Structure 1
Amino acid sequence: MRFLGIGQTNDLAAMYGGLQSRGHDVRVVVEDPACHDVFEGILQRVEDWEGELGWIKAAGEDGIILFESATHGALQDALRSEGFQVIGGSGLGDRLEADRAFGQSALQAAGLQVARCHRFAGYDEALAFLDRYPARYVLKFNGASSERSRNYVGQSSDGADVRAMLSMHAGRPNEDRSMAPDFILMEFVHGIEIGVGGYFNGHDFLSPVCVDFEHKRFFPGDLGELTGEMGTIVSYQGSARLYATVLRPLVSILREGGYCGYINVNLIANESGLWPLEFTCRFGYPGFAICEALHTEPWENIFRRMLRRDVLDFGAKDGFACGVVLTVPPFPYRHGYADLSKGLPIFVDPNMTQAQRESLHFSEVALRQGQLVASGSCGYLGVVTGVGTTVQAANLAALDSVRKVLVPNLRYRTDIGARLSGGELQQLHSWGWLPGKDSAA
């Protein structure tokens, strides 16, 4: 088969590498110049996606275009209309993820309760709103490419800390004044964060769908910056009620919007029900690699089923997968990377088992003169996965592999899944969102 990957930073590099190792032809387009060296010496990078369309079309049903980000939906729609096989998202998907208020309205229309959400295009307007309606809020900037570290989960019950954050942004001389600010203030909801996601084939979801528990903050104990994701627990077990409540009601809008790819809804669960927070309308990073740890068949089989719509299920293991993200300074920021970490050598303990080697899903790395080194833009080296019958077992398996990856100044969280093992899973069981240990999925 032939695969053309299109994205900004080559986030699916590990997936492409796996496809290539299984004998498929892979070419990638990496739009961000700072990431042109991601998987350098491993994958073939091409400059112009349009110049590769003939190569893809010549493969017929064996030619697939994969999109990484939720920023090229209109292009995906256009390519599908021209007969190309495209997996990634759609124009609708871009809007569901990037326009948070629109995403909330779509979820509300699908029958879910939503927290109050207010959109602003100016800081003064938002500050005046907080003066009138003081409360605890979450500040989230719109746009699929917005920096996650700018978002802020308010701690103060009267919104004073969120107000201070907005005042800071308003007064910064280096804020881009060519574009109006675009952000929301969402009412804070107490509870347990959980996600449900699946592969949509343009008509229906493949089975099974997964449940996931993201750990977004940089340090153990959920301290530090919102990074996007520092690790996640994934399972394909027990997702039936979440699927029926959250994903199945979205089938009509996704079908009408021409969506084809992975889609996830992140939620807060509490005694009052489910409260959706946001969409991910693309492959999740590092979610795709953590899901893969539970798959019993390769990506190409899943992609064929999505495009042919002949089979609505795929093989997945029971249990849990844990993913631990590996980083070096200055992640999650870019400034100073060239001086601090770019080019650092990466070694793998030769005593690693074959299964442990397969658990390594590198990202910002390159192969130079036979040596694996840090590359890319910020020090996101990749994710290491582990699988187990319990969350704790999966975490221990992942950490056992992590400790065999040898890089100067390597940073990672050791507590991925600790809250789940410490009582959150049992609480979700008691609310009925996940089946009990003796219940069917």
Structure 2
Amino acid sequence: MKKPSNVPKKFLFISRWGEILDIAYATQNEGNEVKLYIEDKPSREIGTGFVKKVRDWKNHVEWADILIFDYTGFGKECTDLRAAGKIVFGGSEYTDLLELDRNFGQKELQKHKIKTLPFKEFVSFQDAIAYVEKHPDAYVIKPSGETQELKQLLFVGSDDEGLDVIRVLKAYDKSWGDDFGNFQLQKKVKGVEISVAAFFNGKEFLKPINITFEHKKLFPKELGVSTGEMGSSMFWVNQSPIFDATLQKFEPSLAKQKFIGHIDINCIVNGNGIYPLEFTSRFGYPQIFIQRAGINEPIGELLYKVATGQNFKIATKKGFQVGAFMVVPPFPYDDKKTFELFSKDAVVVFRKDLKEGIHPMHLKKVNEEWLITGNTGIALLVTGTGITMRDAQKMMNNRISNVIVNNGYYRTDIGDRWFEDSDRLWSWGLL
């Protein structure tokens, strides 16, 4: 049964890796009761001391007023729970497939009459190498299914003959062999990489929509390995030609599937058009935390209103929001020994006791101290907001300078992309 907005509620967060801690903690600080379940065993210490943790989320379904799933792969559970009358924020089998099965996602884009980039699916590295040798060009290697969680395996080629892609495919063949699963080679296109995202209440998209620019490489100026994410810049808008050309066309399909949650589509855009690359049919990380910095209403209440199918305009800040991850070794690699040696249980120190814009990631709280836990080395996300991008960056950098994370590193140029990208987007009529 739906509860009025000013009444505290019971939130059960079901998490794959513990990424949702910041939202769970904020929801609790807003006066609600919160329980957090983490599926991944090495990540289960995340959130201890911040929120109440549970061993088996299914034992707490009856307790909860709302269940929030933070990842793809829970679609069937979400559908079954909704059918049983529970209030659920999360995916569906259809939206799971959009993200996890790249082939299906591309076919759905074509079905909705959305222009896509040419791609080919492979299960064998040898076949892919032969294909590039026969059709020399610049390609992107994109793992599908579970392997796509290992973001450093995504490879964006820069050689017009595809020689760098062939070299990487040979290396993957040696290290992975047949265990890699299927993957795509997608033709590479030059342009601006941009995401459009929105909340969907089971019937329609809620405005405003979110425009995000991700910074995926480890080092400033897009150097180094792909990490999945080092930070993002964003803003909220009521209208977007990119949204109209992509996500908006999925509104009837998402309504038919009774999807209730958050969905994002990543695109490359240039003077010739808008080319969707992939879906994220769940919260994006760190996108959701930076969004929270720009939302002027309690995040728990917002998620509850979306999950109960309410139609409302989200209260957001004008201007820009930015966020940077502060990470420690071995990020972005998986190396247990290095993590335990350099990072595990290291204390996050605050020069002044100011935690505004500091979002806990893979942390636990012991005697009011924030300690690094988990196994990947993402300590914090630090956000800033402002009327201009420079203002937002300045606020974020001031907050970063208040935090000491031993052996910590982060990118110092989050948001810089905007200054050139915005000129190009204006000239193409896409802002």
- 2:3 counterpart residue number: none
* Contact preservation (8 Å) 2:30, 2:300: no
User: 1:379-405: per-residue Cα shift (whole Å, max 9, x none)?
Assistant: 101211101111122111111101111
Which sits farther off after the overlay, 402-411 or 367-376? 367-376
Q: TM-score, normalised by structure 1?
A: 0.92
User: 1:217-276: per-residue Cα shift (whole Å, max 9, x none)?
Assistant: 110010111111101011003643222222210112212223110000011110001111
- 2:154 counterpart residue number: 151
| Compared CA separation, residues 351 and 340, structure 1 to 2 (3 A) | closer
- 1:184 counterpart residue number: 184
Tell me how far apart the structure 2 counterparts of residues 171 and 324 of structure 1 sit (CA, whole Å): 34
Alpha-carbon shift at residue 71 of structure 1 (Å): 1.6
Alpha-carbon shift at residue 307 of structure 1 (Å): 2.7
2:294 aligns to what SS in structure 1? coil
State the one-letter code of the partner of 1:370.
E
1:370 maps to which of 364, 368, 371: 368
Tell me how far apart the structure 2 counterparts of residues 103 and 297 of structure 1 sit (CA, whole Å): 33
Tell me how far apart the structure 2 counterparts of residues 92 and 176 of structure 1 sit (CA, whole Å): 30
- 1:111 counterpart residue number: 113
Q: Does 1:430 align with 2:427?
A: yes
State the one-letter code of the partner of 2:18.
N
Q: Does 1:31 align with 2:39?
A: yes
* Contact preservation (8 Å) 2:208, 2:238: no
- 1:168 counterpart residue number: 171
2:237 aligns to what SS in structure 1? coil
Show the 5 A alignment for 1:75-154. Answer: 75-143=77-145, 146-154=149-157
Tell me how far apart the structure 2 counterparts of residues 216 and 7 of structure 1 sit (CA, whole Å): 23
Show the 5 A alignment for 1:407-422. Answer: 407-421=405-419
- 2:30 counterpart residue number: 22
1:345 maps to which of 324, 328, 347: 347
* Contact preservation (8 Å) 2:242, 2:274: no
Alpha-carbon shift at residue 181 of structure 1 (Å): 2.2
Alpha-carbon shift at residue 11 of structure 1 (Å): 0.5
Percent identity over the alignment is 31
Alpha-carbon shift at residue 158 of structure 1 (Å): 1.0
Show the 5 A alignment for 1:382-393. Answer: 382-393=380-391
Over aligned residues, Cα RMSD in angstroms? 1.4
| Compared CA separation, residues 2 and 133, structure 1 to 2 (3 A) | same
1:55 aligns to what SS in structure 2? coil
Q: TM-score, normalised by structure 2?
A: 0.94
User: 1:355-399: per-residue Cα shift (whole Å, max 9, x none)?
Assistant: xx2201111111112321111111101211101111122111111
Show the 5 A alignment for 1:310-349. Answer: 310-335=310-335, 336-349=338-351
* Contact preservation (8 Å) 2:233, 2:321: yes
- 2:52 counterpart residue number: 44
* Contact preservation (8 Å) 1:237, 1:319: no
* Contact preservation (8 Å) 1:7, 1:67: yes
Give structure 1 stretches of 5+ with no counterpart: 57-62, 435-441
Tell me how far apart the structure 1 counterparts of residues 238 and 218 of structure 2 sit (CA, whole Å): 28
- 1:437 counterpart residue number: none
* Contact preservation (8 Å) 2:49, 2:365: yes
Alpha-carbon shift at residue 7 of structure 1 (Å): 1.5
Number of aligned pairs? 420
* Contact preservation (8 Å) 1:324, 1:385: yes
User: 1:390-427: per-residue Cα shift (whole Å, max 9, x none)?
Assistant: 11221111111011111111100010111212x21011
1:50 aligns to what SS in structure 2? helix
2:221 aligns to what SS in structure 1? coil
Structure 1 residue runs of 4+, over 4 Å off?
A: none
State the one-letter code of the partner of 1:221.
K
Tell me how far apart the structure 1 counterparts of residues 290 and 340 of structure 2 sit (CA, whole Å): 29
